[in-house]
Amino acid sequence: MATMELLVAPDGTIRCLYDEALDLAALGQLQIQRGSHVEPDDRGQWWADMSPVSGPRLGPYPRRSLALTAERTWLETHWLCRPDSSKGGCPCVI
């Protein structure tokens, strides 16, 4: 069984990394946005450009799968769960 982390904000909005493990439409109106671009360069090296979420360019990686793993790790660490220092950690993640 696959799992997904959902970040629920105090206003009820939910943030997550898109996955088909859960029918997100069942939670309400969707607004899906690209978090990165994983593309090869002219030497066949792979890069994860995190600029859509104000992040860095990660890489180079010799394989696309490594760039995809780096992309997911960065998004989970820096975008999905931004610590709220006033509460001593991340908001409620279910």
List, in sequence order, every beta strand (DSSP E) within 1-94. Answer: 7-8, 14-15, 37-40, 46-49, 57-61
pTM, two decimal places: 0.76
Give me the pLDDT at residue 55, please: 94
What is the CB-side half-sphere exposure of residue 50 using CA atoms within 13 A?
A: 21
Between residues 16 and 59, the one the model is more confident about: 59
CA 56, 59, 60, 61 torsion: positive or negative? Answer: negative
Chain mean pLDDT for the chain? 85
Q: How far apart are CA 29 and CA 72, in angstroms?
A: 24
**Residue pair 72/61 in contact by the 8 Å Cβ criterion:** no
